[in-house]
């Protein structure tokens, strides 16, 4: 079981590490747009669309990594005062009540959403050059699946802490 948990961790670390390079790509295309706009009076029509798609991909692909690192916002006024076992019990209950149902339902609705987007070769209606939107929707689905897997890994770790009193 611990091998599977570490595999999920490694996958999210890899994706999180890879996604940080999207910021470099965004910086390069934004710089290109500024140079074209102000130095050559030739603004681009595609930079805005690509930058929001890459920015969204960067944010979304980092969700599982952020959960792994414990960096999601948590209101822990009382939580931090509890023992590690009590925290694990709270984590298990909240994961069962909120996390698993919410993300299982989200994945359930995202799969046909993404499938339909690919089936119709969906394009963005926000821009007159109409860039394809199906790759972005696919990245969003992958991101939610990665977050869900990381949430399940954290859930299993909490169960291990409850029953074995160990921190895996």
Helix, coil or strand: residue 151: helix
- Of all residues in the chain, the percent with pLDDT exceeding 70 is 98
* Degrees to nearest 5, angle at CA 77 with 71 and 80: 65
CB 63 within 8 A of CB 149: no
Distance CA 168, CA 156 (A): 10
Helix 84-94 vs helix 134-164: angle between axes, to the nearest 10 degrees? 140
CB 84 within 8 A of CB 162: no
Reading the chain (168 residues) residue by residue, the pLDDT tens digits are 889 999 999 999 999 999 999 999 999 999 999 999 999 999 998 999 999 999 999 999 999 999 999 888 777 788 889 999 999 999 999 999 999 999 999 999 999 999 999 999 999 988 888 999 999 999 999 999 999 999 999 999 999 999 987 665
Q: With b meaning 16 or more CB within 10 Å and e meaning fewer, what string describes 4-27? A: ebeebbebbeebbeebeebeeebe
Looking at residue 130, what is its pLDDT? 92
Structure token pair of residue 88: 């694990």
Distance CA 42, CA 78 (A): 56
């Amino acid at each position: 079981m611990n091998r599977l948990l570490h595999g999920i961790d490694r996958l999210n670390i890899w994706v999180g590490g890879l996604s940080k390079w999207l910021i470099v790509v965004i910086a390069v295309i934004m710089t290109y747009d500024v140079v074209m706009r102000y130095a050559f009076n030739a603004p681009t029509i595609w930079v805005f669309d690509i930058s929001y798609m890459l920015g969204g991909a960067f944010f979304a692909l980092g969700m599982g990594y952020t959960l792994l690192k414990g960096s999601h916002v948590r209101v822990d006024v009382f939580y931090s005062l509890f023992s590690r076992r009590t925290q694990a019990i709270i984590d298990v209950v909240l994961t069962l009540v909120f996390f698993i149902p919410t993300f299982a339902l989200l994945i359930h609705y995202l799969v046909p959403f993404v499938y339909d987007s690919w089936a119709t070769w969906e394009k963005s209606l926000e821009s007159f050059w109409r860039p394809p939107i199906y790759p972005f929707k696919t990245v969003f689905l992958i991101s939610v699946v990665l977050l869900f897997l990381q949430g399940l890994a954290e859930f299993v770790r909490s169960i291990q802490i409850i029953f074995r009193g160990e921190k895996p």
